[in-house]
Amino acid sequence: MKKYILEFCKRGLMAAWGGPVILAVVYLALGAAGVIRTLSPAEVCKGILTVSLMAFIAGGVSVVYHIDRLPLTGAILIHSVILYLDYILIYLWNGWLKQDMTPILIFTVIFAVGYAFIWLMIYFSTRNNIEKLNRQLKDS
């Protein structure tokens, strides 16, 4: 278990540097949509810290795919639920998403579709690479 916690922290720290970059994109989008005009220093600090935390968790949670005793469907379920909670709680806490049913439902649908799309892209890419390697091994 200690091995997975250390790996979670390592992966999380590698991803956390992107937190401020993610925040800049979010603030640009909110500014373009007219949602925000100016930010206080406290809001900027809260945004940087919470998005760095969000990136840390998102990067670290991928360790579930390396737990040998965990079936792939279990790893996918754990990964998706933790990512969803990570994103939605940070968005709600920062006020980037209204605490109303409609925005939360829209966010949930977009998250589910995006997660499934990315996961399927990775799955098919990996499957094609494995098939290619198997053909090369068979031919040699």
Residue 9: burial class (beta carbons within 10 Å; 0-12, 13-18, 19+) = middle
Instruction: State the pLDDT at residue 84.
Output: 98
The 10s digit of each residue's pLDDT in 80-121 is: 999 999 999 999 999 989 999 999 999 999 999 999 999 999
Instruction: State the pLDDT at residue 129.
Output: 92
pTM of the entire predicted model: 0.79
The 10s digit of each residue's pLDDT in 18-41 is: 778 888 888 888 889 888 778 888
Residue 134: pLDDT over 80: yes
Instruction: State the pLDDT at residue 99.
Output: 94
51 in Cβ contact with 22 (< 8 Å): yes
Per the listing, tokens 């810290």 go with 49
Where do the domains of the chain lie?
2-97, 100-140
Q: Which two tokens mark 106?
A: 């829209």
Residue 77: pLDDT over 90: yes
Residue 119 contacts by C-beta under 8 Å, 6 or more apart in sequence?
76
CA 46 to chain centroid, in Å, comes to 19
Residue 52 contacts by C-beta under 8 Å, 6 or more apart in sequence?
16, 19, 20
65 in Cβ contact with 75 (< 8 Å): yes
